[in-house]
């Protein structure tokens, strides 16, 4: 019986257009844009260092159709670093890969295999005692259960299923739908899954594993990202270990400012959470979102000037970081005053009542028209805006409640009422 290691990765999303950079001219855009490539280099480095027998890539190697051939050529060059060292590579296409026309025309190095999209296929490696079964996506919206057509396990082999699916996990498109119970009943020893960007060991008998993506792409993909290293001893899986491969670590830090009397006291409460996030980044560039909440007397001072607040929070973060690299992606203020202000007479009372009243249809139309006019003046620059840019959302008729709450808080603070 053989003993070896293999590496299971998924969702490389090479050259993914990372979101949020256009809103901040001080963002380390170059570092963040090349993060997916750097993470792939780390994956290859880890495979070489661990002397793995093979690498499995469970789909979404790319992020849709390429902007140029360089994306695919970079992947091929990295795979060649593995195959020239006799490390085999097996991959399947995911829903994002299916959108690319060029993917089908790029030759892979000898020793690397992209499994077919029209049927399940099996690679039987007699020297390792391993059989890898898998099928890629021929189109983006695969609605059929691909796993149901996978062949039965080969006797005397460590059987591995390579599949791109959510496997019943919520919050994801239900492509190639199946359940963990169905996968477990298929008889394989290990299911190497992709598509879900959060790492999860769904089951251990047999192993059903999502390694997560190798590099977080925005603050909703916070925490360590990487691949799963699997150790095989005497033909059986002996254990798993997560390898962090990301070069930019995203973090969302929530700070409760409840009861803070002054702005200085509120800012002081950032110290411990910031220190924890910086330590967790382990020397990587930290892309950070700060969310401030709670009922506090300091609310008025915090809400009075959002630009000043951001700069004060940035100063606190830089001070805590020491020499560590840090980018403050956003500061979200959701604090509230201790109590609603007493009714006021006269013009001030009327103004405060207007601020607190529900938005009218006229206001909604005015906001939409204003955003549309701004976008028209932007010309071709509009095409570089991320899909969630406020101007695009307002022009589409969106008015998120949190925007209105923040505007009300700012107005009240400037009137000395909050």
pLDDT of residue 405: 60
Report how far residue 252's alpha carbon sits from residue 330's, in angstroms, rounded to the nearest whole number. Answer: 10
- Range with the largest mean pLDDT of 128-132, 315-319, 362-366: 128-132
Going from N- to C-terminal start, the domains of the chain cover 4-244, 248-343
pLDDT, greater one: 141 or 54: 54
pLDDT at 80 over 50: yes
pLDDT, greater one: 21 or 167: 167
Q: Which two tokens stand for residue 334?
A: 């959701």
pLDDT of residue 418: 47
pLDDT at 403 over 50: yes
pLDDT, greater one: 19 or 41: 41
pLDDT of residue 386: 61
Classify domain 4-244 at the CATH class level.
alpha beta
3 state DSSP class of 342:
coil
363-389 burial, b if ≥16 CB within 10 A, otherwise e?
A: eeeebbeebeeebeeeeeeeeeeeeeb
pLDDT, greater one: 338 or 400: 338
Report how far residue 169's alpha carbon sits from residue 183's, in angstroms, rounded to the nearest whole number. Answer: 14
pLDDT of residue 372: 80
- CB under 8 Å to 234, separation ≥6 — which residues? 1, 2, 3
What's the pTM value of the predicted model, to 2 decimals? Answer: 0.82
pLDDT of residue 69: 78
pLDDT at 393 over 60: yes
What is the chain's mean pLDDT, rounded?
Answer: 86
Q: What is the mean pLDDT of residues 190-215?
A: 96
Report how far residue 251's alpha carbon sits from residue 328's, in angstroms, rounded to the nearest whole number. Answer: 10
Task: Please give the backbone phi and psi of residue 247, each rounded to the nearest 5 degrees, phi first.
Answer: -110, -15
pLDDT at 141 over 50: yes
Report how far residue 269's alpha carbon sits from residue 260's, in angstroms, rounded to the nearest whole number. Answer: 9
Q: Which alpha helices (H) appear in 1-105, and where do they start and end?
A: 29-33, 35-50, 70-83
3 state DSSP class of 167:
coil
């Amino acid at each position: 019986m053989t003993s070896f290691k293999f590496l299971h990765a998924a969702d490389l999303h090479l050259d993914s257009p990372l979101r949020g950079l256009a809103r901040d001219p001080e963002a380390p855009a170059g570092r963040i844009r090349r993060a997916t490539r750097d993470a792939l280099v780390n994956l290859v480095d880890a495979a070489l260092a661990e002397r793995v027998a093979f690498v499995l890539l469970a789909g979404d190697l790319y992020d849709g159709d390429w902007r140029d051939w360089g994306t695919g050529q970079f992947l091929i060059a990295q795979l060649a670093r593995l195959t020239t060292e006799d490390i085999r590579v097996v991959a399947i296409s995911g829903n994002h890969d299916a959108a690319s026309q060029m993917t089908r025309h790029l030759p892979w190095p000898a020793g690397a295999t992209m499994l077919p999209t029209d049927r399940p296929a099996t690679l039987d490696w007699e020297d390792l005692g391993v059989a890898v079964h898998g099928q890629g996506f021929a189109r983006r919206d695969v609605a059929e259960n691909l796993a149901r057509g996978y062949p039965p396990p080969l006797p005397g082999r460590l059987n591995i299923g390579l599949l791109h699916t959510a496997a019943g996990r919520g919050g994801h498109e239900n492509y190639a739908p199946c359940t963990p119970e169905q996968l477990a009943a298929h008889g394989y020893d290990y299911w190497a899954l992709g598509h879900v960007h959060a790492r999860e060991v769904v089951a251990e008998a047999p192993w059903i594993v999502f390694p997560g993506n190798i590099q977080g792409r925005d603050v909703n993909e916070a925490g360590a990202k990487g691949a799963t290293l699997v150790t095989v001893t005497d033909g059986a899986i002996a254990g798993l270990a997560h390898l962090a491969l990301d070069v930019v670590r995203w973090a969302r830090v929530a700070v409760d400012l409840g009861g803070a009397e002054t702005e200085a006291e509120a800012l002081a409460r950032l110290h411990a959470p910031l220190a924890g996030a910086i330590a967790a980044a382990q020397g990587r560039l930290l892309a950070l979102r700060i969310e401030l909440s709670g009922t506090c007397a300091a609310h008025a001072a915090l809400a009075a000037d959002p630009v000043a607040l951001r700069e004060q929070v940035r100063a606190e973060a830089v001070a805590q970081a020491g020499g560590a690299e840090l980018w403050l992606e956003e500061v979200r203020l959701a604090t509230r005053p201790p109590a609603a202000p007493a009714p006021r007479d006269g013009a001030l009372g009327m103004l405060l009542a207007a601020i607190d009243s529900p938005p009218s249809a006229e206001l909604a139309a005015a906001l939409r028209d204003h955003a549309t006019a701004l976008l028209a003046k932007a010309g071709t620059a509009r095409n570089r805006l991320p899909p969630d840019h406020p101007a695009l959302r307002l022009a589409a008729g969106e008015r998120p409640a949190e925007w209105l709450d923040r505007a009300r808080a700012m107005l009240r603070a400037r009137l000395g009422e909050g």
